[in-house]
Amino acid sequence: MGWPSREVSPKKAYLTRRVSGADLRRSGVTLIEVLMVVVLLAMAVAIILPQFTGRKHHGDLNTMREDLSRLVEAEQRYFASHGAYTTSFPREQFAPSPGVTITDWTTTPTGWSASASHAGPPSATPNSCHVTVDTSGHTGGYGTPICP
């Protein structure tokens, strides 16, 4: 019996093919390519993320405006019944939205004023609104919430 021959049939040639170093270097992804993808993704996030945070802030302002508008309506109903303004309501007559706090709620003989703030992370833009009702006509507005 002799040694097996070194020749390989064409059917089994793919099993014994040797891969050269050049083929190995070309089969993967380079570090530069990975870094470029990471940089492009970071740029996309940097462009998109501020739009979402801006919408959240805009929604908070709308919630505070709505709460102050409902407070104006509740105060007007109370004034129509009692002939004076108040700084407290039972929860069934007026309750602020979740996350909204009514502060600086003061009354005068001719009107009242209140501020609303929204709980959340501090932002570069103000996170509060104010409303003033002055029936004497000297200062303030008539129940229009102002959110700077």
Q: How far apart are CA 115 and CA 49, in angstroms?
A: 29
By residue range, what is the domain housing residue 70?
A: 18-134
Contacts of residue 128, defined as CB under 8 A and 6 or more positions apart, other chains included, come to 64, 115, 116, 117, 118, 147
Whether this model's pTM surpasses 0.85:
no
Count of domains for the chain: 1
What is the tens place of the pLDDT at every residue in 83-140? 888 877 776 778 888 888 888 888 887 788 888 888 766 655 567 888 888 876 544 4
Q: How confident is the model at residue 73 (pLDDT cuts 50, 70, 90)?
A: confident
Q: Which residue has the tokens 């380079």?
A: 30
Three-class secondary structure of residue 50 per DSSP = helix
pLDDT value at 39 more than 80:
yes
> Which one has a higher pLDDT value, 41 or 6?
41
- Between strands 128-134 and 111-118, the pairing is antiparallel
Does some domain include residue 39? Answer: yes
Does some domain include residue 88? Answer: yes
Does some domain include residue 143? Answer: no
71: Cα within 13 Å, side-chain hemisphere: 34
Does some domain include residue 47? Answer: yes
pLDDT value at 45 more than 80:
yes
Does some domain include residue 100? Answer: yes
